Structure 1
């Protein structure tokens, strides 16, 4: 059972993970009865040692595991306020990925122009009206704090941008379809300190408009950017609470040892 020591968490729930289990190849039990809320327009950090299930949990939200045969979900992730179970086989995973965007560990712009990178998801959704696409591309690039840097070279290849700019381009690409949740999988691990600071500042701004779930190995980053933190170990959720509680007054010794560097 996950312990929460702080007073009643007053924010509205955007998604609820209920008794979620996940099996790689139907055999490796990677997630075990995970129960966790994700609060609307807040940043939730997933922390824990390598192999604890952070990225596995993150990728359940947008059904990335569906891309590989034999993987199996049990339990549910309910997207609110609709109450849709994102893991239901009747729910189209492509539509799930439109509603829940993802930014990966390393910048991965498509070998297309800056404009087409951002427009990609809109075209997949069937949007062909140039004026609408233009407006949404500009809005997404502005939201990713990249518009002023690229507005005069939208037809240049996205791969020609710097590492930090490429990651912001990927964030713009994720934002273009106006998702309800954006997943960040260690988004700054391949970036220098200056670019990392830029992305962290952007995350702080983005939570005004979208719910964010981030996997990070950096305790300092989790403390800086997140409102809530979940500590995971060996596929289980050990503790979930407001970030300040996790780092200053954790209820579990295992959590205290991890955040203080004494773990193991």
Structure 2
């Protein structure tokens, strides 16, 4: 049962999952009646054992599942303040992906220069003014904490960057189009401890300007970086609350068992 005793008076919802069921038409249902708020300028972490539905839920937010076969959504994901159900049949998934950026588990820079990686999304949107693109490239790299390291080599290949730098580049690329929501799918699992620390610091800084929904298997990372944490198990949302409460005083025995390492 999801914790409902959170003081919501001073919080603004950026998005909200409403009684969402999801599955591939050819397979069993993967998500069961998920209802979850995503608060503006906060970091929300999705935790749980492998196969519990974390990444499945995350990818519903930008309609990634639509790329891989016939799927069935029953329920809503409302994006505020536009009050748009991004799962609506009349909604173009490509437009959704323009509004909701995503950074994947493994850094995936395009085979282009550092500059063109950032400029790509702007060009897709039809932006042609070079001075504006230049400004957004610098601003995005600044926000991703990468500008000082690459400002003198913007025209070199992104593949020449280290793994941690590549992941920050992917974050900068996602930020360039000013997304309403930033999705992070295990953003540090492929990185060394130093790069992981840089990304965690970056996440906590970025929430000042963007709302973040993050999947992580690293419970310490969720406790350090997330304002709110949702524990999922077998496609169900078991518990949701402030991270400090979920990790120190979980309401549900399954949450406690997972956090203390009894399963998962």
* Band the TM-score falls in, shorter-chain normalisation: over 0.9
SS of the residue corresponding to residue 14 of structure 2 reads: strand
Task: Indicate the RMSD between aligned Cα atoms, in angstroms.
Answer: 1.1
SS at match of 1:217: coil
How big is the shift at 1:26? Answer: 4.3
Q: Answer yes or no: is 1:230 the counterpart of 2:220.
A: no
* TM-score, scaled to structure 2: 0.97
2:188 matches 1:188? yes
Q: Which moved more, 1:183-192 or 1:251-260?
A: 251-260
Cα displacement (A) at 1:203: 0.2
5+ residue gaps, structure 1: none
Kept in 2, the 8 Å contact 1:4–1:239? The answer is: no
CA distance in 2, matches of 1:29, 1:218: 26
C-alpha distance in 2 between matches for 1:122 and 1:114: 14
Shift of residue 25 of structure 1? 3.5
Q: What SS does structure 1 have at the residue aligned with 2:127? A: coil
Partner of 2:255: 255
TM-score by length of 1: 0.97
Structure 2 segments unaligned to the other structure (5+ residues): none
Contact 2:144–2:169 under 8 Å retained in 1? yes
Contact 1:6 1:245 (8 Å CA) reproduced: no
Distance 1:77 1:148, change over 3 A: same
Partner residue in 1 for 2:3? 3
Q: Deviations over 1:205-248 (max 9, x none)?
A: 00000000000001100000000000000000000000001001
Aligned residues: 264
Q: For residue 81 of structure 1, what is the aligned residue in structure 2?
A: 81
The residue number in structure 1 matching 2:66 is: 66
> In the alignment, what sits opposite 2:118?
118
Q: What is the deviation of 1:5?
A: 4.1
Q: Distance in 1 between matches of 2:123 and 2:144?
A: 20
